[in-house]
Amino acid sequence: MDKSIYSSLSLKNSLTLTVSTLLLTACSYNIDNTMTNIKAPKAKKIAKELKKHGDIRIDNYYWLNDRENPEVIKYLEAENNYFDAHMKHTNAFQKALFEEMKGRIKEDDESVPYKKNGYYYITRFEKGKEYPIYSRKKETLDADEEILFDVNEMAKGHDYYQLGSFKISPNNKLAAFSFDTISRRQYNVLIKNLETGEIYPEEIKNTTGGMTWANDNKTLFYTNKDETTLRSDKIMKHRLGTAVIEDTLVYEEKDDTFSTFVYKTKSSQYLVIGSSSTLTSEYQILDADKPNDNFQLFQKRIHGLEYDISHFDNHFYINTNADGASNFKLMRCPIGKTTKTNWQEVIPHREDTLLEGLEIFKDYLVLEERTNGLNKIRIKRWDNTADYYLPFKEETYAAYTYYNPEFDTNILRYGYQSMTTPSSVIDFDMDNQTQQIVKEQEVLGGKFKKENYESKRLWATAKDGTKIPISIVYRKGIQLDGKNPLLLYGYGSYGYTIDPSFSTNRLSLLDRGFIFAIAHIRGSEYLGRKWYEDGKLLHKKNTFTDFNTCAHYLIAENYTSSNHIYAMGGSAGGLLMGAILNLEPELYNGVVAAVPFVDVITTMLDDSIPLTTGEYDEWGNPNEKEFYDYMLSYSPYDQVKAVAYTNLLVTTGLHDSQVQYWEPAKWVAKLRELKKEGKKLLLHTNMTAGHGGASGRFEALKETARDYAFIFDLEEIKK
C-alpha cells in the first residue's frame, strides 16, 4: 500500500516552450571501458517563473514535464546511456547477482490453498516463467485443476503486464478481472465465463482494478478514475450483457481530497462504498441481494473521524478513532442503527497499543495490535471464555493475519517472519491452541542457515530526546570496528510501517559483509498513531532528522562509518533520501533514491496532477502560506545547494502514476548544474514501466541487482 505521491498525464498543453534541440553533451567511451572520458548529459535551461505568496522560484527544468516532447525522451535516453556507460564494468557482476538471487527462489512454487464458496484457490509459478498462474479445485484438493488465469499467456506481446485482481461471481461461473499494460495503474476490466472460457466483449476502461459482484451474479460494481488526476472518484454499476456506455453512475465523490472504492463484506451480505482522505472516512452500505436499491449512509463524514466497518451476524463492528481514540478502539452497532450515536465500545482505546485491524469468526474475534513497535495477535472468544495472545519470541519480527475468508471455522491462518527467519504461513487452532506450519519459505542454493545471522533492535536518541527504533541484521562474527558496510533503509510517511521482514535478496548483501538496518522513523505508525502524527504536516522534518540520527548512532556505535554507510528509500522514501542529502550531503558514502517524490512544492500546487489534492492532509496545502513556507524549506528539488553531494543513484519509470518521472529527472538535472564534481550522479529511467518497476518476478530482480551493484561498486566489492 504505497499511497505515496503523484502521477499525471502530460502537461504539454500548459507549457509554451520555444525550444528546438536538446543541448546534450555526448558520452564517449574508452576502448578499455573505463570512465575517464565520459561526460554527463546537460539538460538545457529554460527559466520558468513560479510565483506564490509573493515568493518567486525559478525552475530551469520545468520543461521536462512533457513526456510527449521528443527532446524530453532524448534527455532521458541520454541519461540512460550515461548510466549504462558508468555501470558497464559491473554488468558481469550484475548478471551474477541476478543469477544468485534467482537461484534462491523456488521457481516452481505455489501458495497455500484457501477455500471459499466451495473451491480451493491456488496461485502457482512454473519454472522459468515470469508470471503467476491462478487456478482452483472444486471441494477437494484431489480434484482436477481448473486454470483461471495464466498470466504468462496474457502478458505475451506486452513490455509490461499486471493482473490487478479478479473476483469470482457468487455462483462460481464468472470472473471479473482487471489488468494494466502501461504501468499507470489505470486498469481495464473484462469478464470471463469460467465454464466456456469465453471473454465477454464488454470492456470497462480506466478503473482502479477493484470491483465486486452483487449476489445476483449479473451486476458488477467498480471504481472509475478521473482521466486527468487519476483520482478514484466514481462508483459505477455494470449489468452483464449490456454495453459499458450504459453503465449507471451509483456514486460520485465530489470532494477532490477524497477517493472512493467499493467492496463486499466477508459475510457477502453487504456491498460497501467507502470514501476516504488521510484523516477522514465515510461508508455507505447496500444489501448485496438488492443491487438496484440505493446505498444507505453508515455514518456521515466528520473531519478527523476515521473508521472501518466489518459485518457479523446482527451487528457491524467499527475500528475507529472516535472520541479521541488516537490508537483506535473497537465498537459495534446494530444493523439499521449505524450512526455514531449507536456505537458501543467492545475493545477500549489504549495509549500504548495501536489497533491495526481485526478478523471476525463465528466463535472468535481476532485483533491485530502493535505495542512498542511489535506486532501482536490477540484471540478472544465472543463468550469471553478465552482471551490470549499468540507467543512470539524474537526481539524483532513481523506477524500478521493471512487471508481468512471463512466465518465458520476455528482455524486462524497467520503469517510470521523476521529478518533472520524465512516467512511461514501457519494454521492456528483457536480451540485447542495448537498450530501447524502449512508453508515455509524455501531458500534454495544450500548456503542459507538461519543460525548464521543475528537480528536485534537498537534505539537511537534524537536531539529532542525521542528514542528512534532501528531493526538490524547481519551475519554473525562481524567485528564492530567501524569498517562494516551498512545499508540503512527508511520510508516514514502515511503511517506506513516497514516491518522487519525476511528477504532472500538481502542475503546478497549480508553474505558480503553488509549490515542491513531499518530506521523506524516518525511518520510511520511503528510506535502508534502519535508516531505518525509527529512525522507529518508541520512536523515532517522529524522524519528526516530521525533518519540521520539513526545513521549517526550506527556510526558512533562502530557498526559502520561515513566511508561505509549507505541509504536507500523509494517514493515518499525517495523524498526522505533527497531531504537527508540536503541536510548532510556527505554523511553517507552513497544513496539510492527510487521513484523519489522530490519536487514537493510544484507538485502540490498543481491539482491537475494525480493524487495531489488527496495529499493535503499528509503534507499540507501549499496554497496556505504556512504550509508553503514549511514545505519549501525541505523540498529536495528546491533546496539543492552548490555543495559536494555524495554518490547518488536515482531511478524512475516513464509511466509512473504516483511520482511523475520528471521529478527525479529535474532533480538530477539541477544537481548536475550545482553540485561540486567528484562523486557519481546517475539517473536510470525504465522507459516501459511505472512506479513499481518491472512487472515480471525475474525482471524485478534485475533492478535489485542493479541497485546492489551500484553500492557494491562504491565498496569496491567486485564479486
| Active-site annotation holder among 691, 695, 707, 713 | 691
Distance in angstroms (rounded) separating the CA atoms of residues 319 and 53: 40
Contacts of residue 134, defined as CB under 8 A and 6 or more positions apart, other chains included, come to 121, 122, 123, 147, 148, 149, 150, 151, 163, 166
Distance in angstroms (rounded) separating the CA atoms of residues 319 and 675: 49
Q: Is 656 a known active-site residue?
A: yes
Query: CB count, 10 Å around CB of 377?
Result: 21
Specify whether the CB–CB gap between 398 and 497 falls below 8 A.
no
| Active-site annotation holder among 259, 503, 508, 571 | 571
If you count them, how many residues does the chain have? 719
- Phi, psi dihedrals of residue 582, rounded to the nearest 5°: -70, -35
Supply the DSSP string of 537-584, one letter for each residue: GGGTHHHHHHHHHHHHHHHHTTS--TTTEEEEEETHHHHHHHHHHHHS
Q: What is the DSSP letter of 709?
A: H
Chain centre to alpha carbon of residue 268 = 28
| Active-site annotation holder among 59, 180, 656, 713 | 656
Closest among 548, 637, 546 to 586, alpha carbons compared: 548
Q: Regarding beta strands 486-489 and 565-570, do their DSSP bridges make them parallel or antiparallel, or are they unpaired?
A: parallel
Radius of gyration (C-alpha) of the chain in whole angstroms: 26
Q: Is 571 a known active-site residue?
A: yes
Q: Is 564 a known active-site residue?
A: no
Distances (CA, A) of 630 to 7, 63, 525, 598, 613: 23, 25, 22, 14, 18
Distances (CA, A) of 136 to 144, 168, 173, 714: 9, 11, 12, 48
Distances (CA, A) of 80 to 68, 76, 354: 18, 6, 44
Grid coordinates of 608:
491537475
CA atoms within 13 A on the CB side of 552: 14
User: What residues are annotated to the active site?
Assistant: 571, 656, 691
